[in-house]
Amino acid sequence: MSEEITVTPVRGKQDIKAFLDVPFALYRNDPNWVAPLYFERFDHLDPKKNPYFQHAEAELFIARRGGRPVGRISAQVCWLRSDLYKDDVGQFGFLEAEDDPGVFAALFETATAWLKHRGMTKIQGPFSFSINDEMGLLIDGFDTPPSMMMGHALPYYVTRVEEQGFAKAKDVIAYDYEDKGDGMPRAMTAAHAKAIAAKDIRIRPLDKKNLASELDIIVSILNDAWSDNWGFVPWTKDEMTALGNNLKFLVTGEFIAIAEHKGEAVAMAVSLPNINEWIAGLNGRLLPLGWAKLAWSLFGKPPRSIRMPLMGLRKSYHGTALGAALALGAIGQVRLYHTSRGTRHGELSWILEENLPMRRMIEMTGARPYKTYRIYQKDIG
């Protein structure tokens, strides 16, 4: 007779460490999994350090069999999202578990009970913690490592999640871009040239000396540009400030381009170094020598690849030739900076499956879809 599966909430630092340790055993034979850095994950889970908890509450759970951790999950309610949609949708995240239907059932039963106790009638995920964080379950593209702030998974997760009654809510796409050194595609070259030549248009890098005001501009563009997107939850100023503070030592101002029309900032493109390439092999730790590898990667050479996680164009410019020129101009400016330094690969993600205008714009650059992530949903009554 198999040992009983128990699921308990995380309490204290030792439990948090156990929660973070769960995937190490699961992915030990998967060369494409990249262990996150412990210190960063500790901060992400800490309500005192993560501004997500200013408008949300969450609980972390660990499944054990015979005292041994075999799975984990989070349950969370974003009150900012609830106020916006008024649909009583709670969320789950951080899902990792052994290939055992009983473990998945126990984890989801516990998360569901926690959400129902808070009045939720649907459960949706995975989100770790927010749609503005790592989100979606990888369902296609297991043969390559994830880019920074993107998830990885084992192929059996899809079956185990769907066995619990979950169905697709939405798919999002990650695009892979390879610069072969032959310049931008003709359409993109023309749009970029048009943008930088126009008298009323200026495309500039981020001004790191005025980081606070620049982050306000990025939040303003994002929250306007994305407001009609499925699942949209506005970025708060504190969330963007936290992201900016975490990344300001990783990037120069040229990693970000802001496009202005008649003095108004209307489009932007944000790129980040793919730090997963730097921390692969560190096993989540900077000691004893991991800090040296990371420091060399940070300051010794440009990144081999980048990720463009944030792109936006104000809604009043959607569907216009001017808007396309501004958006492509910002993307093109970032691309030129990276190719001038020898960076040849990038990921543009994530893109909603039905966002055809953005997908066409990305495909104009020569990028191809190479990973698909799925958000699941289930009624919990």
Q: 102 burial class (0-12, 13-18, 19+ CB within 10 angstroms)? A: middle
Q: Which residues contact 209 (CB under 8 A, 6 or more apart)?
A: none
Q: Which two tokens stand for residue 14?
A: 């030792």
HSE, side-chain direction, 13 A CA sphere, residue 350: 30
Q: Contact, 259 vs 334, CB < 8 A?
A: no
Q: Which residues contact 364 (CB under 8 A, 6 or more apart)?
A: 185, 187, 188, 328
Angle at 261 between CA 256 and CA 266, to 5 degrees: 50
Q: Which two tokens stand for residue 311?
A: 């792109």
CB atoms under 10 Å from CB of 273, counted, come to: 22
- Domain architecture of the chain: domains with CATH: 5-171 (3.40.630.30), 180-343 (3.40.630.30)
3-state secondary structure 293-327: HHHHHHHCCCCCEEEEEEEEECHHHCCCHHHHHHH
3-state SS of the chain: helix, strand, coil percent to 5? 40, 30, 35
User: 30-60: string of b/e by CB count within 10 Å (b at 16+)?
Assistant: eeebbbbbbeebeebbeeeebbbbebbebbb
Angstrom CA distances, 13 to 17, 19, 38, 51, 121, stand at: 6, 10, 12, 20, 31
Helix (H) or strand (E) holding 375: strand 368-379
Q: Output the pTM of the full model.
A: 0.93
Q: Contact, 373 vs 162, CB < 8 A?
A: no
Residues in the chain: 381
Helix ranges (H only) for 51-129 are: 79-85, 101-116
Q: Which residue has the tokens 């790592």?
A: 134
SS3 category, 175? strand
Per-residue pLDDT, 292: 53
Distance of CA 143 to the CA centre of its chain: 19
User: From CA 169, how far away is CA 287, in angstroms rounded?
Assistant: 41
Q: What is the DSSP letter of 316?
A: G
Q: Which residues contact 303 (CB under 8 A, 6 or more apart)?
A: 273, 274, 275, 277, 278, 297, 343
10-residue mean pLDDT series, the chain (381 residues): 87 96 97 93 95 97 96 97 95 98 98 97 97 96 96 98 98 92 67 72 93 93 94 92 81 93 95 89 68 59 90 93 87 90 92 90 87 98 83
Per-residue pLDDT, 16: 97
Question: Is residue 19 left, alpha or beta, with left meaning phi > 0 and alpha meaning psi from -120 to 50?
Answer: alpha
Strand segments, DSSP code E, in 160-287 are 167-178, 201-205, 256-261, 264-273
Question: Is residue 13 left, alpha or beta, with left meaning phi > 0 and alpha meaning psi from -120 to 50?
Answer: alpha
Per-residue pLDDT, 183: 63
Per-residue pLDDT, 1: 43
Closest by Cα among 177, 148, 136, 172 to 348: 177
Q: What is the DSSP letter of 303?
A: -
